[in-house]
Each structure stands twice: as structure tokens, then as C-alpha cells.
């Protein structure tokens, strides 16, 4: 006899919040289902047809009643909305201090990239009790990163970065599913989130990362692709200086002002002339097809590091 | 509200021959009802057309807001002279179509036919100029999917503009071709003398369709040709 | 009105002409309704076979019955066939075509030839889709999400897209026909507020058909152009946005759910009134709630995309609007329930379907609140919770209503009665089988089993076994009507014009109706469901 679980484990700080709302909705729903069913059964039996030609009695419709059952569902709906929106707001706002990890989805695997350089496929090791922020993109079609035990899901979309975050509260191994249909082996695009004690996690970190940290990989790439010839740190190059650019406001040729975030840097590499910085010519070639999503991530991480911030943390 | 809304007991007898007019279909009470149904039907159909083009218009709006520079660059490669001439041609055809409808209402068969012919000639002229523009784009490698090349900023974005350009103008041209087909049928019916003062609904609703296709172009022209011209 | 005319040989729409041509070239709305009934019944069987194979595959955790590609094609084609080829046309094309003109006292729809054309368009589109199925199938999911559908899929997307595009025009034309008919063809005295609620529902549905379907059409065209000519409207490599496709797709496909459910609500209103022999409680509220659902339905499409990368505030707006849709739905349920109060309730087959509908629709609607609620949606979207929810609406709701309507009007359409006992058994079996199939899926969904999975972790097996068992019960429940309804065509007792003692113009004309519906144009002098004016007659 197979096991019969009825409720998922709660393994993140969000899980309890989502479940509380869920139980509230379950009770409201159960109340109304029972109410409607009981009334129907009661009326159907009490007023069953007793004679062949019988017709129903005349019942005067009541405006008060109509308004009651319009306004009460409306009120309940608004309560559910505010509560749900509140939970969603927390879900979509990562805390200030996070452990950053990058995710790349492709048919049909999950690839993870730690800042220290470790790479993982279909398995993600994280410490317990620490907010983890994942930044994800896809190499081909839309995927969706879904960890039921954390009540966490977000679509991973080609051409843009999605961020999601969680804070695991229990050590253990949890299912990771792809929740957006992505082709043949969609149901095989599954993995495991391994939540470990911080000490174990440190030990695990020490055991990997053969290629150096992500920043150093990005730095190497920056030289290999000859980005360094134009984006010189002394300001003598034909391209803008990148030191301190990450997170700052950038003036463009066409008068717009944009914030230099991950998406902007990605776009500047793949489609350089789309947003040209004021005072420069659109002479940068496109690197579309020359850099992989993972290499782009390392470049972004390198540009971030030029702000001279500590690694592994993001300050809002 | 239909006129036969009154609950009078004056019910037309079903089994009698329908009141005189050969154009009256059996399931209507009178020509007025038949006309009302046909006109409402055409207006509803035009509403569906608005939604049909609306999908592309919303795509256009979003990308234009996202990539304003590219939009300007790509739009400036279109031939504004040809576009303007085409706009004038099409607006004129709307005028002649309206005159054809008016002539049908006053039961002038020859006038109906000649105005319809002028309308169709203008429609064909529009399509001819449009084909020439397409040929130009093809020669400049501005057709997405056919060795697409673009010399302005952000060629990989310009592809989007031209995709929408061809989708929108192509669908518009298709509607024009369908419209020409409809007008041919109306022309034939006019030639056979099928329209009377009492009943010329087909001319009217074809006119509605024709004007609608024109209005679509009135929106397409500034959106596609007049982006960022001041630079 | 209970005069029996069955002894007299009579001309009616079925025996007015004979031969294949008289059917294929008919402009009689009743015959066209039957043509649709035949077509969509075939498609329903096809979609049911796909569903059965899906359930069999899911009986065990590993993907062992069919290959992963085949499984993906199965759920895709189950969705495409059931949604585009059965549910969307079902009630409007069959009962709407048959009864809209009769219920308003007209001789036919406003555009009879257009009506026949819409059947042909539907069949041509259906042929394209069937061609896509027999030449290897489609594996994009019925949602055709880009970039998978435009770049990655190697299956027959093109033929399916063309088929859906063409079939869309069939529902546009049907909707257009109904709106014009209801506006311009009502019999003398048939004011808007004397119309049966089924017509209000059809009117609301037709509005969605007319305004929503073209958006799907242009979206499908864009996907086809992108596949065929590499136009880059949704291609991220060119800066296009795959999410734009989702917005355009759901702009139609969410209202499409209301295309499926609103007609059923209309039928249920008819059934509850007829079998309680009572005026529907709160007629105007039920009528306007149909329109409200149609209007709100256009404003909530974003709730399908809460985890797809919308802005937080955009999601909140869509969330609150989705909760607003719940209000008119709740109003309907309460009014139906109140109609039973002091009625004269009989439990004949159509009524059982109607009561089953209310129960299942209530559960379906309430679980919709879970999905409208942002915090929960993040967890349950794209899981079996969603699958269960929309099956409660589309099968427990739309299909139950369709079957209820079929049983209610069958004697009118054919002139024959079916065995009521069998009908009641089938209704109960369907109801029980349905709940056994889909209720476990709510639990599965909250546990986190994603939808569209060919293989799944073993801990989900028990619930899947329950679900598959329920599906076989449900299958029996659908087979039974097919058998006894066919049987009744030849052996059923003659029904007479009004076997239920119901109100409404359709029951004032003989069964089956004559070609032009009424021997003389009816004049309406009383509101719909005026049961209290009937003289009491004892058997």
C-alpha cells in the first residue's frame, strides 16, 4: 500500500504564512459548500412535488436578501485579497541580507552557480536559517522553479532575470520541480534542494569550486573578450568606465535615465546599441551568441564587484 | 428597441406570402427588421475586427515604449511619400464608397456602379503602391526571416519593428483584398438591378466594412511611418 | 396546452425533407443544432479517449504506459479537443442554435445561411486539428506558450494553430448571430425582462465570443507567422517578450472559461425553475450577474500569470478583480438555492443534473478563490490544484449543465422520451465518479504535484489511483446517456409538446417543432416562469 500524504512539509519561513491563509480559505469554502448543500437537500425534500399538477408557491423576492448575499461574499473576498496580497508582498521582496545563487534553466535540467565558484546540476545545497536569493534565467523556453516544501514558485524566463528567495527552516532534502511545461522531459526536470546545517554547508563549500569564484571567472572573461580595451578603468577607453556603475543611475544618449541593474548589464552585452550611455558612440559590437547565460552571470557579478562591495551580500 | 416591441395583437399571418418585396427573407417580418439585423451584424463584425487588430496594436505599443530609439530608426527607413500618397488614395476611396451608398439610396443604378468601380480602382492602386513598398523593403533586406540586415542601432531589435510592420500592413492588405471581393459581388448585384430605395442594405454594410478598413490604415500610417520624424 | 397531437401524422422539421443534401444544405437552425450535436459528440469521445489514456498513464509513478512525447501530446490534444472542439461550441452551438429562436418566438436566427456557414467553418477547422492529431499530434499544451511553441516544439503546431484559428470564426459567427437575433427578432411582447434566463446567458456568452475570440485569432496567427517566417514578435532573442503572448492568450482564454460556464448557468436557471415550477428567485439579479461575469471576465486574465513575472502591483489589481468575479457567481448560486424554497420540486433527470451542477460549481468557484488569492496561487499554480479547479468548472459545471439541458430538451428535439430512471442513475454515477476523480487532485496539487507530468514521485501514487478509479466510474456515467438516448430515438414513448409541464415558448409548439417553429407567431403576455398562473390540475 503506497503512503498517503495529505499535506506538504513546512520547511521555509513562508510555508506557515501560506498555510494559515490556506486554512482560512478552506474553512470559508467548507462553510459555504455545506451551507448550500444542506439548503438544497433540505428544500428539495421539504418541498418535493406531492401532486401531479402542483406548482410552486409565490415567493416575493427580497432586495435585502439579494444585497446580503452580494455584500457578504464581497467582504469575504476582500479579506482574502488583502491577506493574500500581504503574503505575496513578503514573497516578492527579498530581505536585505541574502546569500546569492544563480540558476539557469535549460531543457531539461537546473544548473546552479554559487558565488564561490561551485556549480551544481539538479541539486542545490543551501544552509538552514539563512535567506537565499536566487536569480534565474533560461537558455531556451520558459521553466518554473517550484519547491513545494517552501511554497515557492517563479517562472524562469528566457531573456530576463527572475529573482526569488526563501529562508529554509528545516534541514533535509526537498523536491524541486519544473512547473511550467517545457517539452519532452518536463517531468524529468526535477531536482533536490539540500538544506544543511551552516557548519556542514561551510564544509561543503570548501570542497568545491575548482574554477575560482564567479567574480574571478568574470574578470578573466572580461579580458578574454577584450572588453577591457574600451572599458578602461582610467577613463581613456572608448566605452564608459564600469567602476561603480552597478546600481547607479545612467544617463542615456536619448535623454532617458536607467538604473544599471542585472537586466541592463545583460542587455548592454547582448544588444549594446539599445541603450547607449550619454557621451559615447554606439560602436560596441553585440555579443549575442558569443557568451552563454552562465558567462553573462559571471560578467554581471564582475561588474558588481567593481563597486567594491563585499562578496555574497547585496545591500539595498 | 425594435418597433414590433408593442404587445399589440396585430400579428402578421405567417402563411401568407411575405409582404411583397422579393428581397425579404422568410424569417423576417418586414424589410426594416431585416435591415436592422444586417446593420447590427456588420457593426458587431467590425467590433471583432477591432479586437483582431487590437492584439497587434497592443504589441506595437509595448515594444515602442520599450525600444523608442530602435522604433525611430526603423520607421525612418519607410518611404513616407508613398505612405502619404497611399493614405490619400484610400481616403478618396472612402469618399467614392460613401457616394455609391448614397446613389443606392436614391436608386441611381448607373451611379452606384460607376462609384463602385472607382472605389475598386483606388483600392487596387493602394495595393499596387503597397506591393512596391514591400519590394523596396525586400531589396533593402528589411524583411524578417529573409536574410534580415539593418544598419541602424540595435539591429536585433529592429527585427521586431519590421515583424510588426509586415504583420499589420499584411493583414490590412488582406482585408483590402477581401473588400475588393465583396465590392465585386455588390457591383454584380447592382448590375442585375437588385437594389431598390427600400432595400439596399448590402451596399450600406459593404460600405461600413470599407470605411473600417480605411480607418485601420488611418491608425497604421502615423504609427508606422511617422515615428520620430522630427530628428 | 397539453393537447396530444400524437395520433395525427404531422410535418415537423425532421421529416419536412429527407436525404443527405437536405441536412448538409439546411438553413434551419434546428437541423444545424443537430449537425453540431453530432460533430461535437464525436469530438467529445475523442477527447475522452485521450483523457482515459492520461489517467491510465498516471496510475503508476514511472512513465511506463506511453513515452514522454506521447504523453505530452495526449494532454495537449485532450485540452485542444475538449476546449476548442467540444466545450466552447457545446451549449451555444447545439442548444443555443436550437432554442434561441424558439424561446424568443422567432422563425429562425437572423442569419440562417451564416449559421450553416459557421458549422462548415467549424468542421473545416476541426479537420485541420484532426489532421494535426493523426499526423503525429501536437505537444505544446493547449496554451501554446512561446517560445516553446514557436521555437522548440517539433510537433504539428502549425496545423493545430490553423485549425483553432478557423474554428474561432465559427464561434464568432455564432455569437454574432445570437446577439443580432436577440436584439431584433423577439416576438411581440417578448421584452428583455420577459426573456428566459437562458437567453440572457447566451447573450452574455455571445458578447465574449465576439469580443474575445479575435484576440486569440491574432495571437495564434502571430505564433504561426513566427514559426513559418521567423517574424520575431515574441522572440526574446530580438527583444520580444514571451509574456506578451501569455497576456494576449489569456485575454481570450480566461473569458473562454466563461464561454463554457455561462451557457450552463443559463440552462441551470431554466431547469431549476421548471422542476420547482416556480419563478426564479431574483430574476434580474441572475440576468445581470450573467452580464457582470462576462464583463469582469475580460479584466482578470492576469491571474493566470502571477508567477510569470508580472509587477507586484499589476498582480494585485488582477487579484482583486478576480475576487469580484466571485460575487456574481455567488449571487447565482444563492438565487438558485432560494428558488427551491416553497417550490414544487421533482427529481427528474434534468433536475438532478442541475442540482449536481450547483454543488460542483460551488466547489469549483470556491477553489477559484484560492487561485485568485496571490499568496496561495504562488504555491498551487501549475499544479494539480489548478487542474482540479478548472475541471470542476468545465466538467462539473459546463458539462453537467450541457447534459442537463440535453435531457431537458431531448423530448422537444426528438419528440421522444428516454427512460427517466436510467437518466437519474447516470446523473448520480457521473456526479460520484466526477468527485472521486477530481477531488483528490486538490490534495495532490497542494502537496505540490505539478501538472503535465508524465512521471511523478511515488508518494503521490495513492491519490492518483483514486483519481483514475473515479475516471472509470465517470466514463460509465457518460456512456449510459449515449446508450439510452439512442434507444429512445426509436423506442422511446412519444413525449408530447410539454412533458415536464414547463413554461416557455419552446413548450407551446409541438415536439418536434415544425420547420418555422410556430404555426402562428406567438404573442407574449407574461413574464418568464409565470408558474403561479397555471391552473392546478390533478392527475
Task: Measure Cα distances from A154 to A44, A148, C253, C380 in Å.
Answer: 46, 12, 22, 11
Which pLDDT score, from 0 to 100, does residue A133 have?
95
What distance in Å separates the CA atoms of residue A225 and residue A29, rounded to the nearest whole number?
59
Percentage of chain C surpassing pLDDT 70? 97
pLDDT at A309: 41
What is residue B15's predicted lDDT score, i.e. its pLDDT?
43
Band of residue C519 on the pLDDT scale cut at 50, 70, 90: confident
Average pLDDT of the residues of chain B: 87
d(CA A282, CA A280): 7
The residue among A50, A150, A201, A4 whose CA lies nearest residue C465 is: A4
User: Per-residue pLDDT averaged across A310-316, rounded?
Assistant: 37
d(CA B153, CA B151): 7
Residue A234 has pLDDT above 70, yes or no: yes
Other Cβ atoms closer than 10 A to C194: 20
B163/C238 Cβ within 8 A? yes
The pLDDT of residue A311 is: 36
Residue-averaged pLDDT of chain C: 92
pLDDT band, residue B159 (cuts 50/70/90): confident
Give mean pLDDT, residues C238-264: 94
The answer to whether the CB atoms of A274 and B154 lie below 8 A apart is yes
- Residue B78: strand pairing partners: none
Query: Among A84-88, C148-152, C324-328, which is the least confidently predicted range?
Result: C148-152
Chains that touch B (3 or more CB pairs under 8 A): A, C
Q: Look up residue A136 and give its three cell numbers.
A: 534565474
Beta bridge partners of A105: A110, A138
SS percent in chain A: helix, strand, coil, step 5:
35, 20, 40
pLDDT at C477: 95
Angle at C36 between CA C34 and CA C39, to 5 degrees: 115
Residue C279: which residues within 8 A CB-CB, separation 6 or more?
A56, A58, A59, C273, C339, C527, C528, C529, C530, C531, C532
pLDDT of residue B23: 79
Higher pLDDT, B228 or B125: B125
Give the pLDDT of residue B231: 60
Nearest to B153 among A256, A282, A288 (CB): A282
Asked if C224 contacts C138 with a C-beta cutoff of 8 angstroms, the reply is no
* The predicted structure's pLDDT at residue B26: 81
In this predicted model, what pLDDT tens digit does every residue of C102-111 receive, in sequence order? 999 999 999 9
Q: What is the pLDDT of residue A209?
A: 62
Quickly state the pLDDT bin for B13 (edges 50, 70, 90). very low
Which segments within C56-115 are labelled E, that is strand? none
pLDDT, average across residues C209-238: 90
Averaged over A245-267, what is the pLDDT?
88
Band (pLDDT 50/70/90 cuts) for residue B21 is confident
Half-sphere exposure of A174 (CA within 13 A, CB side): 29
Q: Residue C171: name the closest of C109, C218, C239, C125 by CA.
A: C125
Across A61-70, C30-39, C236-245, the highest mean pLDDT is recorded for C30-39
φ/ψ bin of C391: left (φ > 0), alpha (ψ from -120 to 50), beta (otherwise):
alpha
Interface of C with B in 149-188 (CB under 8 A): 172, 176-177, 179-181, 183-186, 188
pLDDT band for B4, please (50, 70, 90 cuts). very low
Backbone conformation region of residue C306, classed left if phi is above 0, alpha if psi is from -120 to 50, else beta: alpha
Determine the distance in angstroms separating the CA of C359 from the nearest CA of chain A, rounded to an integer: 7
Q: In chain B, which residue's Cα lies nearest the Cα of C214?
A: B52
**B144 to chain C: closest CA residue:** C231
Cα–Cα distance for residue pair C193/C219, rounded to 1 Å: 37
How many of the other CB atoms lie within 10 Å of CB of A12?
A: 25
Sequence-distant (≥ 6) Cβ neighbours of residue A63 within 8 angstroms:
none
Is the pLDDT assigned to residue C534 strictly greater than 70?
Answer: no
Question: What pLDDT, on the 0 to 100 scale, is given for residue C43?
Answer: 96
Yes or no: say if C343 and C379 are a contact pair by the CB < 8 Å rule: no
Q: Within 10 A of B196 (CB to CB), how many other CB atoms are there?
A: 15
Chain A stretch 264-303, residues whose beta carbon is closer than 8 A to a beta carbon of chain B: 270-271, 273-274, 276, 282, 286, 288
Residues in A 214-253 with any Cβ partner in B closer than 8 A? 253
Do the bridges between strand A152-156 and strand A123-127 make them parallel or antiparallel, or are there none, so unpaired? unpaired
> What is the Cα–Cα distance from B13 to B8, expressed in whole angstroms?
14
Q: Give me the pLDDT at residue B69, please.
A: 82
pLDDT for C488: 95
Query: Does the structure show a pLDDT above 90 at A175?
Result: yes
Torsion region of A279: left, alpha or beta (phi above 0 gives left; psi -120 to 50 gives alpha): left
What's the Cα-to-Cα distance from C507 to each of C103, C205, C408, C502, C527, rounded to whole Å?
Answer: 9, 24, 11, 7, 15
Kindly report the nearest CA distance between residue C29 and chain B, in angstroms: 11
Contact B220, B170 (CB under 8 A): no
Taking only Cα atoms into account, the Rg of chain A, rounded to an integer number of angstroms, comes to 27
Give the β-pairing of A99-106 and A131-138.
parallel
Q: With contacts defined as CB-CB under 8 Å, which chain C residues touch B174?
A: none
Nearest to C75, CA basis, from C50, C111, C110: C50
Specify whether the backbone of C405 is left (phi greater than 0), alpha (psi in -120 to 50) or beta. alpha
- Interface check for C527 against chain B (CB to CB < 8 A): the answer is no
Does the structure show a pLDDT above 70 at B5? Answer: no
Tell me what the mean pLDDT of segment C480-489 comes to. Answer: 95
The grid cell for A71 is 455584500
pLDDT of A286 > 70? The answer is yes
As a whole-number percent, the residues of chain B with pLDDT over 90 amount to 63
Q: Mean pLDDT, to the nearest integer, of C108-132?
A: 95
What are the φ and ψ backbone dihedral angles of A138, each rounded to 5 degrees?
-120, 150
E strand or H helix that includes residue A112: strand A109-114
Percent of chain C with pLDDT over 90: 85
Better pLDDT: B23 or C431: C431
Residue B30 forms contact with C (CB below 8 Å): no
Cβ-based contacts of C151 with chain A (< 8 Å): 140-141
Q: How many helices (H) and strands (E) does chain B have?
A: 6, 0
How far is residue A73's CA from residue C330's CA, in Å, rounded to a whole number? Answer: 7
C-alpha cell recorded at residue C461: 501514487
CB-based contact A271 B68, cutoff 8 Å:
no
Distance CA A301, CA A298 (A): 5
List chain C residues with CB under 8 Å of A44.
Answer: 340, 345, 347, 355
Average pLDDT over residues C287-302: 95
Angstrom distance (rounded) from CA C531 to CA C283: 14
> Cβ contact (<8 Å) for B153 and A288?
no
Residue B1 has a pLDDT of 40
Q: How far is A267 from chain B (nearest CA, A)?
A: 11
What pLDDT does B148 receive? 80
C62 to chain B, closest Cα gap in Å: 42
The yes-or-no verdict on residue C38 having pLDDT over 70 is yes
Mean pLDDT over residues A186-207, rounded? Answer: 92
| Whether the predicted pLDDT of A205 surpasses 90 | no
| 8-state DSSP, C383 | B
Q: Tell me what the mean pLDDT of segment C327-346 comes to.
A: 94
CA distance C277 to C529: 8
For residue A195, the Cα-to-chain-centroid distance in whole angstroms is 18
Q: Using CB atoms within 10 Å of the CB of residue C417, give its burial: 0 to 12 exposed, 13 to 18 middle, 19+ buried.
A: middle
> Does A135 score more than 60 pLDDT?
yes
Across C512-522, b (16+ Cβ under 10 Å) vs e yields bbbbbbbeebb
Which positions 110-149 of C are in contact with B (Cβ < 8 Å)?
Answer: 110-112, 114
Take residue B209 and report the three cell numbers written for it: 466594412
pLDDT reported for residue A2: 53
Q: How far is C116 from chain A (nearest CA, A)?
A: 38
- Euclidean distance between the first and the last CA atom of chain B, given in angstroms as a whole number: 53
Q: How confident is the model at residue A55 (pLDDT cuts 50, 70, 90)?
A: confident
CA-based nearest distance C151→chain A, Å: 8
Residue in A160, A159, A165 with CA at minimum distance from that of residue A134: A165
| All three cell numbers of C380 | 498551487
pLDDT in tens, C384-403: 999 999 999 999 999 999 99
| pLDDT score for B10 | 40
Condensed to tens digits (0 to 9), the pLDDT of residues B27-83 reads 888 888 999 999 999 999 999 999 999 999 999 999 999 888 888 888 989 999 999
Taking a C-beta distance cutoff of 8 angstroms, is the pair C461, A2 a contact? yes
Average pLDDT, chain A: 89
CB C310 within 8 A of CB A76: no
CB C267 within 8 A of CB C91: yes
**Cβ partners under 8 Å of residue C166, min gap 6:** C121, C124, C125, C128
> Is residue C19 predicted with pLDDT exceeding 90?
no
Instruction: Using CA atoms of A34, A35, A37, A42 in order, give the dihedral in degrees to the nearest 10.
Output: 130
Q: For residue C229, which residues of chain B lie inside 8 Å, CB to CB? A: 144-145
Amino acid at each position: 500500500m503506497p503512503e498517503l500524504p495529505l499535506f506538504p512539509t513546512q520547511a521555509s519561513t513562508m510555508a506557515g504564512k501560506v498555510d494559515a491563509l490556506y486554512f482560512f480559505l478552506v474553512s470559508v469554502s467548507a462553510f459555504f459548500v455545506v451551507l448550500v448543500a444542506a439548503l438544497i437537500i433540505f428544500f428539495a425534500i421539504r418541498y418535493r412535488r406531492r401532486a401531479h399538477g402542483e406548482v410552486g408557491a409565490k415567493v416575493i423576492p427580497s432586495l435585502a436578501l439579494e444585497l446580503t448575499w452580494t455584500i457578504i461574499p464581497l467582504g469575504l473576498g476582500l479579506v482574502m485579497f488583502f491577506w493574500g496580497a500581504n503574503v505575496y508582498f513578503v514573497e516578492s521582496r527579498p530581505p536585505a541580507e541574502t546569500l546569492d545563487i544563480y540558476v539557469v534553466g535549460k531543457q531539461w535540467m537546473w544548473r546552479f552557480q554559487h558565488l564561490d565558484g561551485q556549480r551544481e546540476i539538479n541539486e542545490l545545497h543551501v544552509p538552514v536559517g539563512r535567506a537565499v536569493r536566487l536569480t534565474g534565467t533560461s537558455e531556451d523556453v520558459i521553466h518554473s522553479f517550484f519547491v513545494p516544501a517552501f511554497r515557492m514558485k517563479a517562472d524562469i524566463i528566457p531573456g530576463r532575470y527572475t529573482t526569488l528567495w526563501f529562508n529554509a527552516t528545516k534541514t533535509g532534502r526537498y523536491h524541486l520541480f519544473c512547473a511550467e511545461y517545457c517539452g519532452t522531459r518536463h517531468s524529468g526536470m526535477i531536482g533536490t534542494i539540500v538544506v544543511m546545517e551552516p557548519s556542514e554547508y561551510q564544509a561543503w563549500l570548501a570542497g568545491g569550486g575548482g574554477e575560482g569564484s564567479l567574480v574571478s571567472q568574470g574578470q578573466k572573461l572580461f579580458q578574454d573578450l577584450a572588453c577591457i580595451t574600451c572599458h578602461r578603468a582610467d577613463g581613456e577607453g572608448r566605452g564608459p568606465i564600469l567602476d561603480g556603475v552597478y546600481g547607479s543611475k545612467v544617463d542615456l544618449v536619448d535623454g532617458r535615465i536607467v538604473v544599471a541593474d542585472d537586466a541592463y548589464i545583460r542587455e548592454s552585452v547582448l544588444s549594446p546599441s539599445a541603450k547607449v550611455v550619454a557621451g559615447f558612440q554606439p560602436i560596441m559590437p553585440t555579443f549575442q551568441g558569443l557568451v552563454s547565460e552562465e558567462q553573462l552571470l559571471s560578467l554581471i557579478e564582475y561588474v558588481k564587484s567593481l563597486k567594491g562591495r563585499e562578496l555574497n551580500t547585496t545591500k539595498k | 428597441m425594435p418597433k414590433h416591441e408593442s404587445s399589440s395583437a396585430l400579428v402578421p399571418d405567417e402563411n401568407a406570402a411575405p409582404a411583397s418585396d422579393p428581397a425579404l427573407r422568410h424569417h423576417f417580418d418586414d424589410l426594416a427588421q431585416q435591415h436592422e439585423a444586417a446593420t447590427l451584424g456588420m457593426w458587431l463584425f467590425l467590433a471583432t475586427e477591432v479586437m483582431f487588430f487590437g492584439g497587434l496594436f497592443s504589441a506595437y505599443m509595448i515594444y515602442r515604449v520599450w525600444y523608442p530609439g530602435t522604433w525611430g530608426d526603423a520607421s525612418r527607413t519607410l518611404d513616407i511619400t508613398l505612405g502619404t500618397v497611399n493614405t490619400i488614395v484610400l481616403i478618396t476611396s472612402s469618399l467614392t464608397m460613401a457616394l455609391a451608398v448614397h446613389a443606392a439610396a436614391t436608386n441611381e443604378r448607373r451611379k452606384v456602379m460607376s462609384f463602385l468601380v472607382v472605389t475598386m480602382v483606388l483600392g487596387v492602386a493602394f495595393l499596387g503602391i503597397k506591393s512596391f513598398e514591400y519590394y523596396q523593403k525586400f531589396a533593402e533586406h528589411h524583411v524578417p526571416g529573409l536574410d534580415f540586415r539593418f544598419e541602424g542601432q540595435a539591429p536585433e531589435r529592429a527585427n521586431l519593428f519590421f515583424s510588426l510592420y509586415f504583420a499589420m500592413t499584411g493583414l490590412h492588405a488582406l482585408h483590402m483584398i477581401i473588400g475588393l471581393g465583396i465590392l465585386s459581388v455588390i457591383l454584380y448585384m447592382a448590375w442585375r438591378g437588385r437594389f431598390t430605395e427600400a432595400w439596399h442594405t448590402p451596399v450600406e454594410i459593404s460600405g461600413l466594412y470599407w470605411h473600417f478598413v480605411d480607418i485601420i490604415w488611418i491608425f497604421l500610417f502615423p504609427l508606422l511611418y511617422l515615428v520620430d520624424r522630427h530628428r | 396546452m397539453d393537447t396530444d397531437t400524437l395520433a395525427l401524422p404531422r410535418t415537423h422539421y425532421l421529416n419536412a425533407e429527407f436525404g443527405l443534401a437536405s441536412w448538409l444544405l439546411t438553413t434551419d437552425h434546428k437541423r444545424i443544432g443537430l449537425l453540431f450535436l453530432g460533430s461535437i459528440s464525436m469530438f467529445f469521445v475523442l477527447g475522452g479517449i485521450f483523457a482515459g489514456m492520461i489517467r491510465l498513464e498516471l496510475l503508476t509513478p514511472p512513465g511506463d504506459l506511453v513515452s514522454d512525447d506521447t504523453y505530452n501530446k495526449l494532454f495537449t490534444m485532450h485540452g485542444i479537443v475538449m476546449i476548442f472542439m467540444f466545450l466552447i461550441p457545446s451549449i451555444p452551438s447545439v442548444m443555443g442554435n436550437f432554442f434561441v429562436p424558439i424561446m424568443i418566438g422567432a422563425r429562425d436566427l437572423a442569419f440562417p445561411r451564416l449559421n450553416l456557414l459557421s458549422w462548415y467553418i467549424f468542421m473545416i477547422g476541426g479537420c485541420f486539428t484532426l489532421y494535426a492529431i493523426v499526423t503525429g499530434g501536437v505537444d505544446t499544451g493547449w496554451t501554446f506558450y512561446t517560445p516553446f511553441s514557436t521555437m522548440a516544439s517539433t510537433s504539428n503546431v502549425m496545423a493545430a494553430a490553423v485549425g483553432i484559428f478557423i474554428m474561432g470564426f465559427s464561434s464568432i459567427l455564432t455569437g454574432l448571430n445570437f446577439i443580432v437575433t436577440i436584439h431584433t427578432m423577439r416576438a411581440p411582447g417578448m421584452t428583455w425582462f420577459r426573456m428566459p434566463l437562458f437567453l440572457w446567458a447566451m447573450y452574455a456568452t455571445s458578447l465574449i465570443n465576439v469580443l474575445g475570440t479575435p484576440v486569440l485569432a491574432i495571437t495564434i496567427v502571430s505564433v504561426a507567422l513566427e514559426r513559418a517566417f521567423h517574424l520575431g514578435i515574441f522572440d526574446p532573442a530580438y527583444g520580444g517578450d514571451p509574456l506578451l503572448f501569455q497576456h494576449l492568450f489569456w485575454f481570450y482564454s480566461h473569458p473562454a472559461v466563461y464561454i463554457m460556464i455561462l451557457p450552463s448557468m443559463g440552462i441551470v436557471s431554466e431547469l431549476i425553475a421548471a422542476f420547482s415550477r416556480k419563478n426564479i428567485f431574483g430574476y434580474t439579479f441572475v440576468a445581470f450577474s450573467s452580464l457582470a461575469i462576462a464583463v469582469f471576465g475580460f479584466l482578470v486574465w492576469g491571474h493566470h500569470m502571477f508567477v510569470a513575472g508580472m509587477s507586484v502591483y499589476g498582480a494585485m489589481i488582477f487579484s482583486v478583480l478576480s475576487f469580484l468575479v466571485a460575487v456574481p457567481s455567488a449571487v447565482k448560486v444563492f438565487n438558485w438555492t432560494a428558488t427551491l424554497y416553497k417550490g414544487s420540486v421533482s427529481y427528474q433527470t434534468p433536475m438532478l443534473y442541475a442540482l449536481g451542477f450547483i454543488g460542483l460549481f460551488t466547489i469549483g468557484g470556491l477553489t477559484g478563490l484560492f487561485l485568485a488569492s496571490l499568496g496561495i496561487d504562488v504555491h498551487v499554480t501549475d499544479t494539480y490544484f489548478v487542474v482540479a479547479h478548472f475541471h470542476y468548472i468545465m466538467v462539473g459545471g459546463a458539462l453537467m449543465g450541457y447534459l442537463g439541458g440535453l435531457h431537458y430538451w431531448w423530448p422537444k428535439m426528438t419528440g421522444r422520451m428516454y427512460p427517466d430512471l436510467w437518466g437519474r442513475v447516470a446523473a448520480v454515477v457521473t456526479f460520484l465518479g466526477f468527485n472521486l476523480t477530481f477531488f483528490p487532485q486538490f490534495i495532490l496539487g497542494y502537496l505540490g504535484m505539478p501538472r503535465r507530468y508524465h512521471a511523478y514521485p511515488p508518494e503521490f501514487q495513492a491519490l492518483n489511483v483514486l483519481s483514475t478509479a473515479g475516471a472509470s466510474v465517470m466514463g460509465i456515467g457518460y456512456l449510459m446517456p449515449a446508450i439510452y438516448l439512442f434507444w429512445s430515438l426509436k423506442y422511446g414513448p412519444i413525449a408530447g409538446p410539454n412533458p415536464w409541464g414547463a413554461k416557455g415558448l419552446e413548450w407551446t409548439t409541438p415536439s418536434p417543432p415544425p420547420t418555422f417553429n410556430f404555426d402562428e407567431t406567438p404573442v407574449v403576455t407574461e413574464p418568464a416562469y409565470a408558474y403561479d398562473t397555471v391552473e392546478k390540475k390533478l392527475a
